[in-house]
Every structure is written in C-alpha cells, then in structure tokens.
Structure 1
Amino acid sequence: MNLKEANISKNIMKATSKEKRTVRTHKLVNEEIRTNFTKLTEEKFKGMGVQQQTLEQRWKFFKDTTYDAARKVCGFTRTGGSKKRTSWWSEETKLAIKEKKKLRKAYLANSISQSYEMYKEGRKLVKDIVKKARVKEWEQFGEKIEENSKQNKKLFYGVLKRMRGKSGGFLGQITNKNGELLTEPADIADRWGEYFSELLEAHESEETPNNH
C-alpha cells in the first residue's frame, strides 16, 4: 500500500467512525418528561412574531423549537463510531463462530478435502445464524419505532392544541399539500406532524456522515 492509498484508507476510517446522535423520543411517554417538553416549547412559542413569517419559516421555527426541546428533556443516544450495535450477538452466535474457528484450524492443519468441506459448512452456519438474528433485531426495532411514533403523535397534537388556545392564532393559515385551508385542530396537527417528520429526517441526515 502506497502513501496515497494509506491516506485514503485513513480518511475512510475517520468518516465511518463519526457518530450520529439520535434523540431518545421514546422517553416522551413519561409524564414528567412530557410536561417539561411541553413547557419548553410553549415558552419558545410565546411572544414570537411569527405572523409576519412565511410558511417555510414557520415550519423551520416549529421544527427547531420542538427538536431542541426534545433533545434537552430526552437526551440522545450515540450510534455509529467505533462501537457498533451488537444486540444480534447471542450465545448461539458465539458458539457457532467458535466452532467455525475450530474447523478452520483443522482445515489449515490438515489441508484435506474433508476438513475444507466441514469448514465451509461451519462458515455457512454462522452466516445463517447471524442473518436470522439481525432480521429479528430489525423487526423488533421497527415495532418499537411504530409504537413510539403513535405516542409522539399524541404528544405533538397536545402541544399544537395548547399553542392554538394560548397564543391566539400562532398557527395562522395552514393548508394541506393541495393548497386547501385546514381549520380542524386534528387536521392541522397531522399537517404539522407530516412536515415536521420530513424536516426532522432532513435535520438528522445532515448530521450523518457520508460513508461512501
């Protein structure tokens, strides 16, 4: 490996080692944390001259305010970096990998056809076990995200309802994607939540390093 290749490899390692911070929004199901979140957001919303702002500016203000409040009261987790998620690691996986290593040693020692076939079988077994474990992990992760999103939707609806009642028209005229005026609190909450989700994803993607 020459100096140029070594530098490229070093830069790739640095990029992949960067961590991503994810707000622990699941904590909002806790009543005390939820109350603190609502209090922080309402304090920000009071006295803001948003009536003169554009709709895009309102979206940004709402996104930044709720994101910062959630980050303060919920904290965040670090993903990526040198520590990777290993919840798929189990005793079954550990034993399978240990057996694969034994078979590899036998193959290297004997270097005969039978040992090699046994090693290939052991390697395939490990891949299958790890694959199944990771699939199960992602299924559980998806279920958790879905459950949390339902809880968070109720929370943001409550915040929006308080905003509408206390600030006397903070929401202004909100329209759906077809340009139709929304007047029902539930419809307005859904529209805010819809756009907020898109902006939040964009916000977090900005913090995510490009590993390619």
Structure 2
Amino acid sequence: MLKKRKVDVVCIQETKWKGGSTKEVNGFKLWYSGVGNTRNDVGIMISSLMKENIVEVNRVSDRIMKIKFVVNEEVVNIVSVYAPHVGLCELARKNFWDCLDEIVRLIPGDQILYIEGIHGGFGFGMRNKSGWDLLEFALARDGFYDEDVNRMWNRWACTITNVATDMLGVTSRKVQVQKEAWWWDQEVQERVKIKHNYFRELLCCQDDEQVDMRRILYKEAKRTAKKTVAKAKSKAYEAMYNHLGTKEGQNGIYRLAKVRERRRRDLGFVKCIKDVNGHVLLKDKDIRNRWHNYFRELFNEERIGVREI
C-alpha cells in the first residue's frame, strides 16, 4: 500500500517491540525504539530510496525517537512521538514534554522539522488534555499561526483526514497475509492462474443454473492448485536442505548472516558527513574540505604530538 501510494516516510506508534533495532519490511527500513515490556514504543519507516540519506538516528525513549536525513540539500528531522495518556502520573507526563522540548530546541532553525504521533487515544474532534498539551507545545514554539485554537484544531484535523483518505484510501478491514512465493515454479503459477480465472467467472456469473457448475469447477481447480503448491514447496525445501549440507551452502549461510547483520545497522550507507561541530555538510566543496582536514590531522598526528612535547 505504501509503495502504491508513493509514501516515503511513515511514523508508527505502539509497536510493542522490546529494545531498539531495525527491520527490513517490504522494501522499507524500520527503526523502532522500545524499553522492556512497555506497550508504548515508537518507530519510523523510510523507503529504500531514501534510507541511504539517513544521517542520524536518535532513540530518546520508548515514546520519542528522531531520524535526520538529507533531501535535496535540505536537512529534515522526523520525530515520532507517543504522548502520555491522561491516566499516567504528572511526573511521567512532565518528563515526556521536557524530553520533547529538549529535542526540538537542539534542532537548528535552518533545518526542517516534522513531529508525528498520537496523543491520548482520542480521535479527531474529541480533544482531551493531551490534545491541548500538544497544541500548547506547538503554539509556544511558533508551530502555528496565532489564531483561534478551536478553528485551528478543526482545520488541522480535517486536512489530515482528507489527505490520508486521498493518499492511502480506506481499507475494508480485511488483513491480507503475504505468502511465500520464492519456490513457485511455472506449473504452480499456471495452476494458480487457472484457479483465479475460475473464481472470476464465478463472481461474474449471473445465471443461477451456471453458478453451481462454475462453483464446482472453481473448487476442483482450488484443490488441484493446493496439491501442486504442496509438491513444489516440498521439492524446493528438500533441494535447499541438500544444498545447505555442502560447503557452498555453509558459506552461503555465513554470507546471509552478514547481510542480515548489515541490514540491522542504523546507518547502512554513509553519504553525508558532519563538521567538527556536528552540523551536516550538504555542499560538495564543504565535504571535500572536511575530508581534507580529517586526513591531514590523521596523518600528521604524530608530528603534532612531537611538537607539543
């Protein structure tokens, strides 16, 4: 769905995963942050086209995490948050807003900032204390124009829901499970295609007398497809296990383990570098000068030490 709608960045909450790590999910890379057995946890998904531009990943807590990347010589900061609900104690709520305030203040003014998340579990139009806190946080940092809060809230809610509906559509609440297909051969594909064709004919059939016959044909094609799939799957796994018993197969396991470990790194590609003050360098001239100074200091470190002595 995200690829179809050309969505490159998605902030998610309530992942309920322990610890902080990364995952590859259907062409997207997911960074998530969780602590222990919490039920909060936040994450950020970025498409494969943009994951190479990641500069920094900061997991603040199980409710706040930030990712910084570069797009067209602009530094963009994405902050995924899960605001505390009204049932938590005042200390936990205060710690959350203090951490978020510190994260926002440390971002330079010339960089783009987006804060995405949920607050309190109330839907749009039903604003609880967490909703008020979010608005006050944005207003205090010039996140919105100074106008009537209720009108601003309604416009914001309508804009988000309309854009989400236009871009992502509305689901039918039917969960589609992604099935394995790496072992499908030509025969399996043909049998599955025949089954789909019979199913379409059954749906399009308007004649009551023909419906029963087409239903029988579809069920027969479905049974045949299941048998073909089972045979192909068993044959493919048997071949794979036999290959793993050889020396080449063992080397392939180690290569696969290295690839998986490399995918779990926060920064798999390094395209952008920072200066001595931690600011991201965007222009080629500044990047070359930074590398020049770095290697000059690296290769002349012993000489500098002798001079100081």
Q: TM-score, normalised by structure 2?
A: 0.23
Larger strand proportion, structure 1 or 2?
2
In proportion to residue count, which structure has more helix?
Answer: 1
Highest CA radius of gyration, 1 or 2?
2
